[in-house]
Structure 1
């Protein structure tokens, strides 16, 4: 299951990067006016109109891959095993024991450390 998640995530990122690159490469609707005045599109690799079809079809295929990987990643995320209990239960279990304050009139013992300055404090 972990392998499928990693594969879907890798395909998802590659499809996203591919879509961004192809959208940036494509010409907008306003580029047609410049092409009529001889911008050299007829001598391109795909011909005068072939590049638009190829790029738009490739973008559509990558968009379908992107949506399928999005759905599969959502499915994998929803089927992860849930932990039982709550965060507060875990915090109570791992908390240190509470230190109680001394009762009224009870003397607090001095620390056993010989380097302590508590003995130098006048009473």
Structure 2
């Protein structure tokens, strides 16, 4: 994980926590019913219009940033991994590589004007010599 990915993840988590806090601070639609009984003065900290416009605008801004960081994380997560950075990573990658059969290099045709294609030949491993069958069964 590179430093950019780590920074975006941390920023994403901070935005998520801020959205949760702002949603919990906001009053629901049923909270206006208490204004008739003297609870209307509690929202004057944020101005004459109350906290609804300030908190709702802040929540919308944080929601837009949350979507942007989500898309950024999806892009960063979908990219191809970087080249191995250590010797151990390189050795592990070489161990996982499939072995290819040994081939001899293709030789160009003797006459360049001919259209013959020379196929490379694959060397076959030497087969072990057959063992002679025993003439008598072993004695016990």
Which range, TM-score by smaller chain?
0.5 to 0.7
Q: Corresponding residue for 2:39?
A: 39
Stretches of structure 2 lacking an aligned partner (at least 5 in a row): 84-91, 97-140
Contact 1:41 1:47 in 2 (8 A): no
In the alignment, structure 1 residue 70 sits paired with structure 2 residue 74: no
Count of aligned positions: 86
Structure 1's 55 and 43: CA in aligned 2 closer, same or farther, altered over 3 A? closer
Instruction: Tell me the TM-score normalised to structure 1 length.
Output: 0.60
Stretches of structure 1 lacking an aligned partner (at least 5 in a row): 84-89, 95-123
> How is 1:3-82 mapped onto 2 (pairs within 5 angstroms)?
3-41=3-41, 44-81=44-81
Runs of 4+ in 1 over 6 A off after TM superposition: none
Q: Shift in Å at residue 36 of structure 1? A: 3.0
RCO higher in structure (CA 8 A, sep ≥6):
1
Q: Which structure has the highest helix share of the two?
A: 1
RMSD of aligned residue pairs (Cα, Å) = 2.6
Contact 2:9 2:73 in 1 (8 A): yes
- Post-superposition Cα deviations, 1:50-104, rounded to whole Å, max 9, x if no partner, equal 3111100110011011000000000000003289xxxxxx9xx79xxxxxxxxxx
Instruction: Tell me the TM-score normalised to structure 2 length.
Output: 0.53
Give, in whole Å, the separation in 2 of the partners of 1:42 and 1:22.
17
